[in-house]
Amino acid sequence: MVSNKKRHKRSRVIGLAVVGVTALAVGGGALLMTDNDASAARQSAGQQTSAQGAMTVTCPDVATELSSVPQQARPAVDKQLAQMDSQVADAYKRLAARGAQADQNWVRTRVLEPLTSKRRATLDSIATEMGGASKQAQGLDAMAPCTVKRTDAAPAAAPANTSTPGAATPSAGAATPSAGAATPAAGTATPAAGGQAQAGPQKSDFVDIRKVQPNVANPRKQANASRGTFSSRCGRNENKHFNSDNVIVAPGVSNGAHHMHDYVGNRDTDAFSTNDGLAAAGTTCTNGDRSTHYWPVVRLRDGKNERDVNLPGGGTEGNIGTILQPASAQITFGGSPVSKVVAMPKFLRIITGDAKAFTNGTANANASWSCTGFENRQLKDKYPLCPKGSNVVRTFKFQSCWDGKNADSANHRTHVAFADAKGACPTGFRAVPQLTQRITYKIAPGSVFAVDSFPEQLHKPVTDHGDFINVMSSSLMKKAVNCINTGRKCG
């Protein structure tokens, strides 16, 4: 089994050497018209570009709707869902390459109609795999059509290219915001392949954290609360474990995420990992915890490219700039404010947040951005601009209620749930240790940065997300639960 895995998987480690060349944002933002913009059809291409800004492809997210897929059909369905992600990414890149020359007719005939046709064929295959007579399989065809979505036209400033290899921040004189800037300086994004504008981030994606009002409210702890914490020290991805796979959502599919992930913990995680393989692998965690933790990388938009500039998940899909190593990555499990917690099942899989929240909407979004010293102010759909001496913070607080039966579900969501505002789990769910992934970055004030994303998601902060597979031994999980339930701080 091991030799078969090695034969089929691609390399999961990509070096961090930076090449001082102009960034190629093949997944750049498209400048398009929507069908209801009749007046825009009479404008010149330049007027359309100015008035309408960037456009992206938006399609119904089939994966979130498939809550009950027969177990035997899940491997095939997962691969077909990953194929649909590729179809959307390809359609978006076609829009991006066309840029301001994409009129209504071209968008309809060269992008939306072909995409709908491909999606319909894939949905038919999914329905067949699930059993055409099943309730979930019926009506999937209605989710085939896609539209376009308009976004902000004002890009954050892109810096001039420099030739200093390995630079982690823009060099002096680069066209980036000044150190004291409260917002990224306005400017024109770096021209990319095909002449289109760079696909985000936009100026409106940033906000000065000092202008945000405190907004964090934690539930009051009850008498039976589990007040302890258990931590795993797993490093900051010093071993440079990166790939653009997603073993939870797209097992067996290379580049299933279409964006690069940082990994800590389990050393063997990629699209082809199995439960047995994960359980036998090494770990970066000092306590022997083999669990898998991963999240999209953060890149400094500094006009430089990593070695993944010509690779899927990297530059070929609009993910460009210097990958930043976290200043810290804290992995902590906490308790429930209203009850004791029970052990997580081994190989429990949890995704928090939604990588497609920009086009899906925010129902499953769980991004949380802030700055050190200001963490009582959390942002969901903006990147924080932190003052000098303060680091950027990403915090993922995972679902802490488990259905008591399943380590995963067809849409990777319904087997777990969030507690309510008072900290109580829904009926039929049990409280488990709540995982918090807290990642910080040293980023110069005013610098332009962004998370990697699916090409059509335009690097929006609301798309941030964290992933977790529990591979703790039963004895280590028992220790964690006991520590949390008895109010101690361990790990």
Q: What is the pLDDT of residues 355-394, one digit of tens each?
A: 999 999 999 999 999 999 999 999 999 999 999 999 999 9
From the list 354, 352, 334, 353, the residue with the least C-alpha distance to 344 is 334
Cα–Cα distance between 459 and 202 in angstroms, integer? 9
Label residue 154 by pLDDT band (50, 70, 90). Answer: confident
Please give the biggest Cα pair distance in the chain: 70
Q: Is residue 137 scored above 60 in pLDDT?
A: yes
Cα–Cα distance between 90 and 107 in angstroms, integer? 13
Cα–Cα distance between 50 and 227 in angstroms, integer? 54
Task: Give the residues across from 262 on adjacent strands.
Answer: 242, 295
Label residue 200 by pLDDT band (50, 70, 90). Answer: confident
pLDDT (0 to 100) of residue 132? 67
pLDDT (0 to 100) of residue 15? 40
Tokens representing 133 are 């007579």
Tokens representing 242 are 């990166």
Mind giving me the DSSP string for 381-431? Answer: SSEEEPPTT--EEEEEE---EE-SS-S--TTSSTTEE---TTSPPPTT-EE
Q: Which of 21-30, 190-199, 329-338, 442-451 has the lowest mean pLDDT?
A: 21-30
Residues in contact with 122: Cβ distance below 8 Å, sequence separation at least 6, in sequence order: 80, 83, 84, 87
CB 484 within 8 A of CB 226: yes
